[in-house]
């Protein structure tokens, strides 16, 4: 598979502050790749460096093998969908969409044709002559998309384009974007802080925090096999327990919980010693006391689709368990002693 | 802001019942000492000039006639268009226009530069730009004259550096007047443009660059159209005072650079003057300014509704 | 090679520097030459304060002293009166809700800024002549008050606009009369704007030439008109000394105004 974008030990400093610490990653052609992390983690900085709006302090950025770190943004065959769309307020929608083509020297007819095609693709043909101010947020977002795709870039950069939309619209746009990427075959590099977005849309995700890449992998890899506490906690909900490693062999391990109970799990590390164990709350079943981990129910929280059961293990550790709120569910009352049965893949020993 | 809370909303009308006594001084002062005089000036322009310099209270279009129509030396030839004063107006308009263009060419980059400084330094730059404005216009014009005259420091420096072999005759030229006007009103161009650039969203420039536009193309296609209201405001704030300027043409220009301000001033020198004529020229100048302002107001209103 | 941000345009920094140079060069040159020991303005004769002494004690000193007294006293009176009128106007415009004639009043307040100065000068002269009022100190003062009003009004209104109405509401709630709430609550809050407006009006009055020149009549001089008359006969070194003094006063006032505004924020 061709490598579309190759980031090689890229560091970015602003004076004394380091935004990116020698990060490396490799994005494949025709991939929907997401940079995921909380605000301040450096994901937007990295994206802007690919676009050409930030200088590379150290390292290289290769686009299909060519180092573009010193190229001005208007010389890179890469286009961006901006977080607040940045549609030119004084130009009509169709002029906005055709702008990149105008800059490349396309004739007026060719521009109009292509811009028209793009608008059709995003279902905004009727809005061609309107001004951006006359459009809703969702419509502006689609114009920004059409504008960035019109010049047929090799790579499309998307800087949290859905964050300004409301929930229902966001969910609909996720599917549209995913479909668009598959249809056009362009490499999409998507930045977001919303892990649900990342999981639903991406082929692969790079989880970032404080200028470092924590883990790169497919949504399944990231969720099922997190490497460390940050990734385990950032994606989905989890219980983090401090444990002592009893035995490790291959990718399985045996750990000792505070209080002495033992758990078998998959592992991200080969070291012994003290580590954290991640247990996914939805992969725990409540069984009658006697089997599984011994605990006492402290509180039951009603969430509509689920019930969140807060328990305390014998040994003192608090945990949360998620059970589906189906018609036949027995709701355990606070104070009851229960057993916690861990399903396959519920527990994972983390590297830190 | 108004009506943010019920409390502040009621504070917005605290002095409502006192508004007449509060505004009376303003109404009186401006009504009696500005509006009334202007009205009287309008009346004056339709009076007859008396031999010895006063006026006779007799309606006459003589002043306007003198301005627009040429009836020959003794007033008995067939009427043709009088070019003398129209030329003065034309020259003033040209000088003011050139000064405005000068201010724009220098003021725009300066305003852009200041607006793109980090917030801490921005204030300092603004302060530096506006300080000369607070110096008396007369003194600024005199300083400029002192600087550029034939045996002045500028020529001394240029001669000394070997850039020129003979002193430049800058005083009493059109250029000196344009320079003087530029010097007088530059901050009026910089400040509105600065305000407009401050509100400009640089994401637009990034988007343009992302879409293959070079810096200068971005300036032409994106920046200028968006910043245009500030530019127009700046141009008006320079052009209008320049039209009626007196000091720059008087101190820096010679007889050849006679402008509207000098024409008007001349009419009010004691017994030599022609007050109705002076009033008429002032009326014509004021009408020109008001037309420009109305055009501006209308185009600004059209921008709002777009 | 470092990438330049979209804010960067080559040459703009140079033009900005040039702009500042052009703005300050004539002033700096005058300041420097005001310390010139030589009576000729073309040759440099060493540093000396003789021209400053000449301004205060030389042959023209009485004339300049009279002119300075006129300028300063008129500026003081005009600024004071204009500031009071402008403050009252600001109260009415911003704290009296919408009323009939509000936009008209706003236009009136801004009128002196929109009519060319020379037109105001002519109109004022004609007015005083018509009513038979002898031109002199009072005519200058009245004219100055008139055109100082908008200059005082601008900072005062700007400041008042930004003051939340809840302070006055609180005062009224605690049984203060309007006058009490104004003097004890609102005015102190408005103070930076009022002082700014005062300084602005003062400088505008002190610096005015065209209108003053028209309405002053014979025998009266203010500093600007005295300087102008002197310059018409040729620039002498003592003119540069006076200019530098006025320059210093202007600079002082502007800095004061700037600092007061910053502290008040």
Q: What is the 3 state secondary structure string of chain B?
A: CCCCCHHHHHHCCCCHHHHHHHHHHHHHHHHHHHHHHHHHHHHHCCCEECCCCCEECCCCCHHHHHHHEECCCCCCCCCEECHHHHHHHHHHHHHHHHHHHHHHHHHHHHHHHHHCCCHHHHHHHHHHHHHHHHCCHHHHHHHHHHHHCCCCHHHHHHHHCCCCCCCCCCCCCHHHHHHHHHHHHHHHHHHHHHHHHHHCCHHHHHHHHHCCCCHHHHHHHHHHHHHHHHHHHHHHHHHHHHHCCCHHHHHHCCHHHCCHHHHHHHHCCHHHCCHHHHHHHHHHHHHHHHHHHHHHHHHHHHHHHC
Q: What does the pLDDT look like over C102-129, one tens digit per residue?
A: 888 998 998 898 889 999 999 999 899 8
Q: Do C126 and B41 touch (CB under 8 A)?
A: yes
The CA-to-CA distance between both ends of chain C, in Å, stands at 42
pLDDT in tens, A136-168: 999 999 999 999 999 999 999 999 999 889 899
Average pLDDT over residues B89-104: 93
For chain B, what's the residue count? 306
User: Which of C122, C181, C238 should one mutate to test binding to chain B, selecting the residue with the greatest count of B CBs within 10 A?
Assistant: C122
- In terms of phi and psi (left: phi > 0; alpha: psi -120 to 50; beta: otherwise), the region of C175 is left
Where residue C65 falls among pLDDT bands split at 50, 70, 90? confident
Average pLDDT over residues A212-217: 96
| Burial annotation B113-143 (CB, 10 A radius, 16+ → b, else e) | bbbbbeeeeeeebbeebebbbbbbbbbbbbb
Q: Are C227 and B268 in contact (CB < 8 Å)?
A: no
B306 pLDDT more than 60: no
pLDDT of residue B4: 43
Please indicate whether, in this complex, the C-beta atoms of A55 and C2 are within 8 angstroms of each other.
Answer: yes
Task: Tell me the pLDDT tens digit for each residue of C40-52.
Answer: 666 677 787 887 8
Instruction: Specify the pLDDT at position B53.
Output: 60
The pLDDT tens digits of the residues spanning B180-207 come to 999 999 989 999 999 999 999 999 999 9
Greatest Cα pair distance, chain B, in angstroms, is: 75
Percent of all residues in chain C with a pLDDT value above 90, rounded to a whole number: 27
Look at the block and give the residue holding tokens 């969409």. Answer: A97
Write out pLDDT tens, residues A11-44: 999 989 999 999 999 999 999 999 999 999 999 9
Residue A220 token pair:
């399944």
- Mean pLDDT of all residues in chain B? 85
A54 and C3 within 8 Å at the Cβ level: the answer is yes
Interface test with A, best of C1, C3, C6 (most A CBs within 10 A): C3
Q: Residues A325-332: what's their mean pLDDT?
A: 79
Q: Say whether pLDDT at A322 is over 50.
A: yes
Q: Residue B270: what pLDDT?
A: 64
Once rounded to an integer, what is the mean pLDDT over residues A281-285? 92
> CA of C84 to nearest chain B CA: how many angstroms apart?
9
Give chain A's largest Cα–Cα span: 78
According to the per-residue pLDDT averaged within each range, which of A92-106, A266-280, B153-167, C61-75 is highest?
A92-106
Judging by DSSP bridges, how do beta strands A155-159 and A78-81 pair with one another?
Answer: parallel
Percentage of chain A beyond pLDDT 70 is 100
Contact C119 B282 (CB under 8 A): yes
Say whether B206 and A103 touch across the interface (CB within 8 A): no
Nearest CA in chain B to A148: B211
Q: What is the pLDDT of residue A129?
A: 94
Quote the DSSP letter at residue C36. Answer: B
pLDDT at residue number B60: 78
**Which of A51, A89, A100 has the CB atom closest to B212's CB atom?**
A100
| A67–chain C Cβ distance below 8 A for any pair | no
**pLDDT band at residue B133 using 50, 70 and 90 as cut-offs:** confident
User: Mean pLDDT, to the nearest integer, of A238-245?
Assistant: 92
Give the tens place of pLDDT for each residue, A67-104.
Answer: 998 899 999 999 999 999 999 999 999 999 999 999 99
| Backbone angle region of A292, left / alpha / beta, with phi > 0 → left and psi within -120 to 50 → alpha | left
Confidence of residue B1 (pLDDT cuts 50, 70, 90): very low
Which of C88, C178, C198, C201 minimizes the C-alpha distance to B24? C88
Distance from CA of B128 to the nearest CA of A (A): 28
Q: What average pLDDT score do residues B147-162 get?
A: 80
d(CA B241, CA B244): 6
pLDDT band, residue B6 (cuts 50/70/90): very low
CB-based burial, B23-43: b 16+ in 10 Å, e otherwise: bebbbebbeebbebbbebbbe
> Which of A145, A10, A178, A176 has the alpha carbon at shortest distance from A79?
A145
Tokens of A263: 């758990």
Considering only alpha carbons, which residue of chain B is nearest residue C235? B146
List the Cα angle A182/A186/A188 in 5-degree steps.
Answer: 85
Q: How many C-beta atoms surround the C-beta of residue C140 within 10 A?
A: 27
b/e burial code for range B154-180 (CB count within 10 A of at least 16 → b): bbeeeeeeeeeeeebebbbbbbbbbbb
Contact state of B137 with C240 under an 8 Å Cβ cutoff: no
Per the CB < 8 A criterion, the answer to whether A243 and A276 are in contact is yes
- Taking the complete model, does pTM exceed 0.90, yes or no? no
Tokens of C134: 């002898």
What's the alpha-carbon Rg for chain A, to the nearest Å?
24
The pLDDT value given to residue A108? 94
State the alpha helices, DSSP H only, in C34-94: 50-57, 61-94
Question: Closest Cα partner for A130 from A96, A84, A164?
Answer: A96
Please identify which residue in the block is written with the tokens 């600065």.
B194
Q: Is B206 on the interface with C (CB under 8 A)?
A: yes
Question: C-contacting residues of B 215-254, CB under 8 Å?
Answer: 215, 218-219, 240-241, 243-244, 246-247, 251
Residue-wise pLDDT tens digits, C67-106? 889 999 999 999 999 999 999 999 999 888 888 888 889 9
- What residues are paired with A247 via a beta bridge? A254
pLDDT of residue B9: 54
Q: Do A53 and B206 touch (CB under 8 A)?
A: yes
Tell me what the mean pLDDT of segment B20-48 comes to: 90
CB burial class (10 A; 0-12, 13-18, 19+) of residue A202?
A: buried
Task: Name the 3-class secondary structure at A104.
Answer: coil
For B211-259, write each residue's pLDDT tens digit: 999 999 999 999 999 999 899 989 999 999 999 899 988 888 877 778 8
* A162 DSSP assignment: T
As a whole number, mean pLDDT of residues B135-154 equals 84
Q: Mean per-residue pLDDT for B4-29?
A: 75
Query: Does B5 have pLDDT greater than 70?
Result: no
> Strand ranges (DSSP E) for chain A?
3-14, 17-28, 32-36, 58-63, 66-67, 78-81, 155-159, 187-192, 204-209, 212-217, 239-249, 252-256, 262-267, 274-279, 284-288, 293-302, 306-313, 318-324, 337-342, 347-349
Residue-level pLDDT at B3: 40
Which pLDDT belongs to residue A352? 87
Instruction: Give the whole-angstrom CA distance, residue B246 versus residue C208.
Output: 12
Interface test with A, best of B118, B202, B204, B212 (most A CBs within 10 A): B212
Q: How confident is the model at residue A309 (pLDDT cuts 50, 70, 90)?
A: very high
Does the pLDDT at position B152 exceed 70?
yes
Q: What is the pLDDT of residue C55?
A: 78
More confident residue, A134 or C231: A134
Nearest residue of A to residue B217 by CA position?
A103
Q: Are strands A293-302 and A284-288 parallel, antiparallel or unpaired?
A: unpaired
Q: For residues C180 and C89, what is the distance between their CA atoms, to the nearest angstrom? A: 18
Q: Is pLDDT larger for residue A47 or for residue C220?
A: A47
Our CA-based measurement puts residue C9 at a distance from the nearest CA of chain A, in whole angstroms, of 14
Between chain A and chain B, the number of residue pairs with CB atoms below 8 A apart is 63
**What is the pLDDT confidence band of residue B37, given thresholds at 50, 70 and 90?**
very high
Least CB–CB distance from B214: residue in A74, A78, A79:
A74
Q: Do A89 and B203 touch (CB under 8 A)?
A: no
Q: Find residue A5's DSSP bridge partners.
A: A27, A63
Q: What is the mean pLDDT of chain C?
A: 86
B48-62, B72-86, C152-166: which has the minimum mean pLDDT?
B48-62
Distance CA C190, CA A12 (A): 47
Tokens of C204: 């505008």
- CA–CA dist B163, C207 (Å, integer): 37
Q: Do A99 and B214 touch (CB under 8 A)?
A: no
Mean pLDDT, chain A, rounded, equals: 92
User: What is the DSSP pairing of strand A262-267 with strand A252-256?
Assistant: antiparallel
Q: Would the pLDDT of C155 be above 70?
A: yes
Structure tokens at B272: 């030599």
Interchain pair C27, B112: CB under 8 A: no
Nearest-angstrom CA–CA distance, B225 and A90: 7
Given an 8 Å threshold on Cβ–Cβ distance, is C41 in contact with B146? yes
8 A C-beta contact, residue A46 and residue A83: no
- Taking residue C236's Cβ as centre, other Cβ atoms within 10 Å add up to 17
Whether the per-residue pLDDT at B73 is higher than 60: the answer is: yes
Strand ranges of the sheet holding A306-313, from the earlier edge strand across to the other edge: A284-288, A337-342, A293-302, A306-313, A318-324
- Give the B-side interface with A, CB within 8 Å: 201, 203-204, 206-214, 217, 221-222, 225-226, 306
Which residues from chain C sit within 8 angstroms of residue A61, using beta carbons? none
In this model, does residue B305 exceed pLDDT 80?
A: no
Mutate to test the interface with B, among C72, C100, C126 (most CBs of B within 10 A): C126
User: For residue A55, which residues of chain C lie inside 8 Å, CB to CB?
Assistant: 2-3
Cβ contact A342:A284 at 8 Å: yes
ipTM of the complex: 0.85
DSSP state of A315: T
Give the C-side interface with A, CB within 8 Å: 1-6
Q: Which of C142, C166, C254 sits opposite B11 (nearest CB)?
A: C166
CA distance A62 to chain B (A): 17
The neighbours of chain A, by the rule of 3 or more Cβ pairs under 8 Å, are B, C
């Amino acid at each position: 598979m061709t490598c579309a974008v190759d980031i090689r030990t890229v560091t970015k400093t602003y004076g004394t502050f380091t935004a990116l610490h020698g990060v490396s990653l490799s994005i494949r052609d025709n991939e929907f790749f997401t940079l995921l992390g909380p605000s301040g983690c450096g994901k937007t900085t990295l994206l802007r460096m690919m676009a050409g709006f930030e200088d590379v302090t150290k390292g290289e950025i290769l686009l299909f093998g060519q180092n573009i770190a010193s190229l001005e943004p208007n010389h890179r065959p890469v286009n961006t969908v901006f977080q607040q769309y940045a549609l030119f307020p004084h130009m009509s929608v169709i002029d906005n969409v055709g702008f990149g083509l105008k800059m490349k020297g396309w004739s007026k007819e060719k521009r109009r044709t292509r811009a028209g095609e793009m608008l059709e693709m995003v279902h905004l043909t009727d809005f061609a002559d309107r001004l951006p101010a006359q459009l809703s947020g969702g419509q502006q977002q689609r114009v920004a998309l059409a504008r960035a795709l019109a010049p047929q870039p090799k790579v499309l950069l998307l800087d949290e384009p859905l964050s300004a939309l409301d929930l229902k619209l966001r969910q609909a746009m996720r599917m549209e974007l995913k479909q668009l990427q598959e249809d056009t075959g362009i490499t999409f590099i998507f930045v977001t802080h919303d892990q649900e977005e990342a999981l639903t849309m991406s082929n692969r995700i790079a989880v970032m925090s404080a200028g470092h890449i924590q883990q790169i992998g497919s949504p399944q890899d990231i969720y099922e096999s997190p490497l460390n506490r940050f990734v385990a906690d950032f994606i989905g909900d989890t219980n983090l327990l401090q444990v002592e490693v009893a035995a490790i062999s291959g990718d399985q391990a045996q750990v000792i919980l505070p209080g002495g109970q033992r758990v078998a799990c998959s592992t991200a590390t080969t070291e012994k010693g003290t580590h954290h164990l991640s247990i996914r709350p939805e992969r725990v079943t409540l069984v009658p006391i006697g089997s599984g981990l011994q605990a006492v129910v402290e509180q039951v929280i009603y969430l509509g689709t689920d019930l969140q059961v807060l328990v305390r293990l014998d040994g003192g550790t608090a945990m949360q368990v998620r059970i589906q709120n189906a018609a036949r569910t027995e709701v355990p009352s606070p104070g009851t002693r229960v057993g916690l049965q861990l399903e396959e893949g519920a527990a994972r020993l983390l590297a830190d | 802001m108004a009506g943010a809370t019920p409390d502040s909303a009621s504070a917005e009308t605290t002095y409502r019942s006192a508004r007449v006594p509060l505004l009376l001084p303003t109404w009186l002062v401006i009504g009696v000492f500005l509006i009334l005089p202007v009205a009287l000036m309008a009346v004056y322009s339709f009076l007859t000039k008396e031999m010895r310099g006063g006026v006779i209270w007799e309606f006459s279009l003589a002043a306007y006639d003198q301005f627009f129509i040429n009836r020959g030396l003794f007033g008995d030839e067939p009427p043709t268009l009088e070019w003398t004063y129209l030329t003065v107006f034309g020259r003033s308009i040209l000088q003011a226009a050139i000064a405005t263009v000068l201010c724009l060419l220098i003021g725009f980059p300066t305003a852009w530069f200041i607006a793109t400084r980090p917030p801490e330094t921005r204030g300092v730059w603004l302060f530096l730009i506006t300080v000369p404005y607070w110096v008396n216009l007369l003194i600024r014009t005199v300083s400029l004259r002192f600087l550029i005259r034939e045996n002045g420091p500028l020529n001394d420096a240029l001669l000394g550096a070997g850039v020129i072999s003979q002193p430049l005759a800058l005083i009493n030229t059109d250029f000196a007047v344009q320079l003087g006007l530029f010097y007088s009103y530059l901050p009026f161009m910089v400040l509105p443009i600065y305000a407009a650039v401050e509100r400009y969203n640089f994401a637009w420039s990034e988007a343009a660059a992302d879409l293959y536009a070079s810096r200068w193309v971005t300036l032409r296609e994106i920046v200028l159209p968006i910043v245009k209201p500030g530019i127009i405001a700046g141009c008006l704030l320079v052009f209008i005072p320049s039209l009626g300027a007196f000091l720059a043409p008087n101190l820096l220009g010679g007889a050849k650079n006679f402008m509207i301000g000098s024409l008007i001033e001349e009419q009010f020198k004691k017994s030599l003057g022609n007050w109705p004529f002076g009033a008429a020229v002032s009326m014509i100048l004021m009408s020109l300014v008001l037309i420009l302002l109305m055009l501006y107001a209308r185009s600004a209103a059209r921008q709002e509704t777009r | 090679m470092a990438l330049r941000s979209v804010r960067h345009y080559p040459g703009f920094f140079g033009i900005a520097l040039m702009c500042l140079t052009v703005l300050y060069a004539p002033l700096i040159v005058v300041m420097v030459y005001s310390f010139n020991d030589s009576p000729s303005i073309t040759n440099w004769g060493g540093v000396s304060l003789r021209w400053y002494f000449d301004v205060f004690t030389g042959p023209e000193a009485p004339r300049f002293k009279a002119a300075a007294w006129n300028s300063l006293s008129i500026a003081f009176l005009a600024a004071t009166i204009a500031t009071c009128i402008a403050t009252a106007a600001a109260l009415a415009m911003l704290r009296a809700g919408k009323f009939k004639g509000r936009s008209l009043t706003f236009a009136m307040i801004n009128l002196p800024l929109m009519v060319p100065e020379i037109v105001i000068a002519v109109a004022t002269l004609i007015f005083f002549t018509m009513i038979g009022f002898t031109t002199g100190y009072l005519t200058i003062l009245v004219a100055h008050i008139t055109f100082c009003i908008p200059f005082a009004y601008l900072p005062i209104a700007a400041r008042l606009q930004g003051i939340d109405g809840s302070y006055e509401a609180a005062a009224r709630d605690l049984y203060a009369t309007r006058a009490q709430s104004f003097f004890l609550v609102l005015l102190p809050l408005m103070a930076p704007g009022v002082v700014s407006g005062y300084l602005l009006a003062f400088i505008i009055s002190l610096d005015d030439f065209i209108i003053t020149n028209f309405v002053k009549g014979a025998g009266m001089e203010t500093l600007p008109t005295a300087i102008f008359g002197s310059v018409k006969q040729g620039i002498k070194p003592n003119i540069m000394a006076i200019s530098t003094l006025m320059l210093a006063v202007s600079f002082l006032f502007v800095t004061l105004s700037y600092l007061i505004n910053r502290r008040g924020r």
